[in-house]
Amino acid sequence: MFSGKSEQPLFCRRLPRAAVLLPVVVFFCLVPPEALARGPALCLWQRVFHLAACPACGSMRALAALFHGRFRDALAFNGNVVVTAPLLLGLLAADLVKAARTLTSRAWPAVCLVRGDAPGLNRVGDPE
């Protein structure tokens, strides 16, 4: 899972976390919780251990209800939504800010050269 070169798992180096989180948040914003309730139960814990309910049961419906502005329904589906939704949005925001900073830092030298702000240049292409 981990290579000797980096502390990040291989998944993190190949696919940005925002590429997974953004579609998940969009999914929860578009799909109403009723549509998720009509589908089959996807809980692995229920299927494997034959439990009535696990602590995460209802999380998908809770997140969908929360992103649709239905806070009471979200808490009724699963109270853990008060923790999972801020974490989900916080991770997504952190990743998007990091990506924006990376993109602007890569583009900044080119902008300086075009505007003539680069060290050692008075105007575009003219040495000091």
12-49: pLDDT as tens digits: 566 788 888 889 899 999 989 888 878 777 777 777 88
Residue matched to tokens 């309730």: 37
Residue 1 lies in a domain: no
Residue 92 lies in a domain: yes
- Specify the number of domains making up the chain: 1
Residue 118 lies in a domain: no
pLDDT in tens, 56-91: 888 889 999 999 999 999 999 999 999 999 999 999
Residue 115 lies in a domain: no
pLDDT of residue 20: 84
CB atoms within 10 A of CB 70: 16
pLDDT in tens, 85-122: 999 999 999 988 988 888 787 655 555 555 555 555 55
pLDDT of residue 125: 52
Q: What residues have CB less than 8 Å from 126, skipping those under 6 apart? A: 116
Amino acid making up residue 71: F
Residue 53 lies in a domain: yes
Collapsed DSSP state (helix, strand, coil) of residue 60: helix
Provide the domain limits for residue 36: 10-103
Residue 110 lies in a domain: no
Q: Are 107 and 86 in contact (CB under 8 A)?
A: no
25: its two tokens: 């948040």
pLDDT of residue 9: 58
Q: What residues have CB less than 8 Å from 10, skipping those under 6 apart? A: 1, 2, 3
Residue 29 lies in a domain: yes
Q: What residues have CB less than 8 Å from 59, skipping those under 6 apart? A: 77, 78, 80, 81, 84
pLDDT at 124 over 60: no
pLDDT: which is higher, 2 or 18: 18
117: its two tokens: 């702000």
pLDDT of residue 1: 47
pTM of the predicted protein model: 0.64
pLDDT of residue 49: 82
End-to-end CA separation in angstroms for the chain: 52
